[in-house]
Structure 1
Amino acid sequence: MRYEGTIYRPPGEWKSYLLQVTVGCSHNQCTFCGMYKDKRFHIRPLADIFEDIAMAKAYYDRLGRSVKRVFLCDGDSIVMPTDQLLAILEKLYATFPELERVTAYAGPRSTLAKSPEDLRRLREAGLYRVYLGVETGDDQLLHAIKKGVNAAQMLEAGIRLREAGFDLWVMVILGLAGPGEPSRRHIAATVEMMNAMKPRHLSALTYLPEPGTELGDQVERGEFQLITGREALLENRGLVAGLTVDPLHFTSDHASNYLPLKGGLPEDREAMLEAIDRALGDEELLRSEYGRAL
């Protein structure tokens, strides 16, 4: 098992075997993101990937452990040619008889570059879940953070993934627009997009400035204002109250969040709203800035 540069994975993939099939992110221009800055994007040769799978097989066999989940690193495995991804999936399921699922990050532009048929073939071959960083439904904000797609394109990417049969997990970022009217527009547009996209899972993180990134430098220079804990709660409340996706697994329990929440919508909506309202009335219930790693 060989890795190039820093490896990232979604929190829920902590039990997964991490197989690096691409290095870095095919887009890697988002103003808020500090991931993958230590490497230049490229697709790994298929022979090297197959060697890594064989190495992983030998390693897990020595431990007497089976591989049940695999996460394909790095930031956008969907960008790989479909035939190569299909070959990797076939090799994984042949090598690990107890393998239950393979998951990956998906970029919106690379998703749109694939045909619906290609996406269905990947799903049928065992690519079970994809994680899509939507960040916001606001067209103006998507442009400002250099996401590489507009709101209509982002929505189309999510719908294509869902309609292909993937277990779609979407991430959005509270505080990404700053306070005031941009905040309200960010949440309203994000709610509207999620209700149209209909992911199965939605995670809300809260923006933390990353040193050396374009947006992080703006924070440092005083050109971008971070939202307060109270404002983050109000954004989260707007999400929980406005989402009509049914069923939806909703989380905002990432370390960046001021108030950890996790549950199902619509059945846990009132309990989550009550928890937010309690915290709005007693800010002692919020994570400290130190606790959020600021």
Structure 2
Amino acid sequence: MDYQGEHLIRPPSEADSIILQVTVGCSHNRCTFCGTYRAEKFRLKDEATIAADLAFVARHCRRQSRIFLADGDVLILPQERLRRLLQDIRQQAPWVKRVRLYANAKAVRHKSVQELKELAELGLDRVYLGLESGHDPTLTAIEKGSTAAQMIDAGQAVRAAGLFLSVTALLGVAGWENSEAHAEATGRVLAAMEPNQVGVLTLMLLPGTPLYQAAGRGDFILPDQAGLLRELRLMVTAMGELRCQLHSNHPSNYLAINARLPRDREAVLNAIDRALAGEVGLRPEALRAL
């Protein structure tokens, strides 16, 4: 398999998937907290290279039934090329039942619901979308490239197309000053997006990123553990009656949660309260990772 660039990332839930790299880097690549592709120029890989990788999959990956399309934003590809790619996957690896990818809100909004439905009919079944925050001032500050309203539109389009929508929210990204506003707004936006799954991560300041530099100057203050737990509590409360899977078991988090909402809301809030009271052990700093 041909893998280019310094980093090749995928969601934790795609650990057992075939990783087929279609793009290198991220089409946006300006988020101030992210250092994954900062030195990488975004590019589409040539179709001959991808075809060779699919031939490898056909020979050697018959026990894996899922494919994850890397890197940061494969949905930015023109519809015709995405159509050919999914058709090639179906032809070369007919045992693959599910195809997943990362997308940003801009790429989603460049597709009509009908185009997204077409991709679903060709095998795409899940879209991972990074919301990070539903608080417009925070989205502007971190240079996310979309407003909360645009995030909602993108999420609703994915759902309207019949695709599974997994959305990430990022604790701490608003800093101490806007912590509560960020948490409450993010919960409200998630409720409006109606994702099937919400994955919660906690900000880790990465050397070389603008947000790390801002923290070094004292212009950004990351909430402490208690502040981050309060963010999580406010976010869950603001999500209201949203029906979704809720996960905070990513290793960046201090408190691991795996729940179904709204069924488990009270249990989740109780677990957070117990953690705030010091009755639940939190992940040690040395074990936190991206």
SS at match of 1:285: coil
Q: Give the structure 2 partner of residue 4 of structure 1.
A: 4
**Structure 1 residue 284: Cα displacement:** 6.2
User: Does the C-alpha gap of structure 1 residues 283 and 227 become closer, same or farther in structure 2, counting only changes over 3 Å?
Assistant: farther
The C-alpha deviation readout for 1:216-267, integer Å capped at 9, x for no partner, is 1112222211111111111111122222344210011111111111110011
Alignment pair present for 1:110 and 2:107: yes
Partner of 1:90: 87
Q: Where does residue 24 of structure 1 map in the other structure?
A: 25
Identify if the C-alpha distance between structure 1 residues 254 and 212 changes in structure 2 by more than 3 Å, giving closer, same or farther.
same
**CA contact under 8 A between 1:194 and 1:245: conserved in structure 2?**
no
Give the number of aligned pairs.
Answer: 289
Could you list the structure 1 runs, at least 4 aligned residues long, displaced by more than 4 angstroms after superposition: none
- Give, in whole Å, the separation in 2 of the partners of 1:155 and 1:242: 15
Distance 1:173 1:201 in 2: 14
Find out whether 1:120 has 2:121 as its counterpart: no
The answer to whether 1:251 aligns with 2:252 is no
Rounded to whole Å, the distance in 1 between the matches of 2:18 and 2:289 is 27
1:31 aligns to what SS in structure 2? coil
2-side partners of 1:242 and 1:155: how far apart? 15
Q: Distance in 2 between matches of 1:252 and 1:66?
A: 29
Q: Distance in 2 between matches of 1:272 and 1:263?
A: 7
The separation in 2 between residues aligned to 1:175 and 1:266, in whole angstroms, is: 24
Cα RMSD of the aligned pairs, angstroms, is 1.4
What secondary structure sits across from 2:285 in the alignment? coil
Out of 136, 140, 143, the residue aligned to residue 139 of structure 1 is 136
Alignment of 1:186-197 (within 5 A): 186-197=182-193
Contact 2:21/2:70, CA 8 A, preserved across alignment: yes
- Deviation (angstroms), 1:96: 1.8
2:48 counterpart residue number? 47
CA distance in structure 1 between the aligned counterparts of 2:121 and 2:141, rounded to whole angstroms: 36
Letter in 2 for 1:4: Q
Runs of at least 5 residues in structure 1 that lack an aligned partner in the other structure: none
- Partner Cα separation in structure 1 for residue 51 and residue 78 of structure 2: 16
SS in 2 for 1:27: coil
Segments of 5+ residues of structure 2 without an aligned counterpart are none
2:287 matched residue in structure 1: 291
Q: State whether residues 31 and 146 of structure 1, in contact with CA within 8 Å, keep that contact through their aligned partners in structure 2.
A: yes
Instruction: Indicate the SS of the match to 2:235.
Output: helix
Give how far 1:44 is off: 1.3
